[in-house]
Amino acid sequence: MSEPEEMIPHTVTRKAVRFRLLQQLPLLVTLVVLWMLLWGTVSWLSLVSGVLVAVAATQFFYLPPVELSGRFNPFWLLVFLGHFGAELFVASFAVAARAFGPPIRSNAIIEVDLRSHSDFLVTLTATAISLVPGSLVIEIDRDRAALFVHVLGARTERDLDRARRTVLDTEARLVRAVGSREDLERCRAS
């Protein structure tokens, strides 16, 4: 009689293999698409060679698995994209106007403690903040889920608070779109 799967310490179950494959699937697809873009062709040869290179890269070079929450809300993703587009538009004109004006001597680096400790959400938040002109994430403290953000033209404490609020609002919109239920509760509580 065989032992239940929970009792066997070092066996890999089919469920675990499927779960690992599902976790790595977005990375594998991204690597294959990147491979095909680098070669500049979409063909069976580039697809097959891309799959082989992607599998080899993920097997030989350890990357920590990206844990997704399993939640996806298309409405809140559209809300995030709308806000992001508006911030991008407004900030682009503000930075362009400052480029033609007098030199800016009032920049700042602020620390923003995020509510989510998910590597995925911290990375998405940092990327979204860095893509908007006038702000740039210069460091991430992964253990504390803190972003250090360079803010252009921050003259008063009110400007710094507004920049912090912008980062936290961006994180909240991303959490509503793809965050876990725990992250959603933490955002609502603060």
Which of 17-21, 73-77, 173-177 is predicted least confidently?
A: 17-21
Q: What pLDDT is stored for residue 39 in this prediction?
A: 87
Amino acid at 109: I
pTM of the model: 0.71
Amino acid at 120: F
From first CA to last CA, the distance across the chain in angstroms is 53
Q: How far is CA 162 from the centre of its chain?
A: 22
- Please give the structure tokens belonging to residue 91: 């900030």
Helix H segments across the chain? 14-39, 44-60, 74-100, 119-131, 157-178, 181-189
CA dist 189 → 25, 105, 186 (Å): 33, 37, 5
Which run of H or E residues covers position 147?
A: strand 146-151
Answer with the residue of higher pLDDT: 11 or 77.
77
171 class by beta-carbon count within 10 Å (0-12 exposed, 13-18 middle, 19+ buried): buried
Asked if the model's pLDDT at residue 108 lies above 80, the reply is yes
pLDDT band at 6 (very low <50, low <70, confident <90, very high): low
pLDDT tens-digit series, residues 12-41: 677 776 777 777 787 788 889 999 889 888
Helix H segments across 111-156? 119-131
Q: What pLDDT is stored for residue 83 in this prediction?
A: 96
Q: What pLDDT is stored for residue 145 in this prediction?
A: 93
